[in-house]
A and B are shown apart, each in its own frame.
Chain A
């Protein structure tokens, strides 16, 4: 069983829809990261969370430490949001675990 589980694996949405991607983890962590990966392969860090909630523009990330769960929300989705979104956690042993990613396609 993977230390980090994401759902859904694939997601197609119409432009303007509200999108939620979920992440559950099974290890003790000191930080959780949401990453965005475009088809070329490069990865961009969107958020690093250790508690509560963070917001950047149309992106919102929340984490519930007790439930070992995080969500990434995209409001008013746009085709340029199409990418793979990866949840990753750093545990207290300084090891970094990745989910398998959620492939998002936003249709105009």
Chain B
């Protein structure tokens, strides 16, 4: 079974400051990792995903994440945030069962609040 822990439920930050949203996972199989963003009253939008290869993944809106297998982490970062980044961010894993489908397992979410 897989599980995802997002260590911070809320992260307040000032505009133009850097931010890191933390995500740790546990799994008995290899996984694919995802970060989604949810703006108020909207669905989920994919920011980035890690499948294999380079452990540093770049996504949309200037976000990037680093996969660390030894620490089972997949932290999301942005060097300079904007007011428009205010949203809830979800880390998710999907088991890699030799290529077969697994459903997404989500963390509880981190609410990023960017203040002027």
Tell me whether A and B are bound partners: no
Q: Which residues of B contact A (CB under 8 A)?
A: none
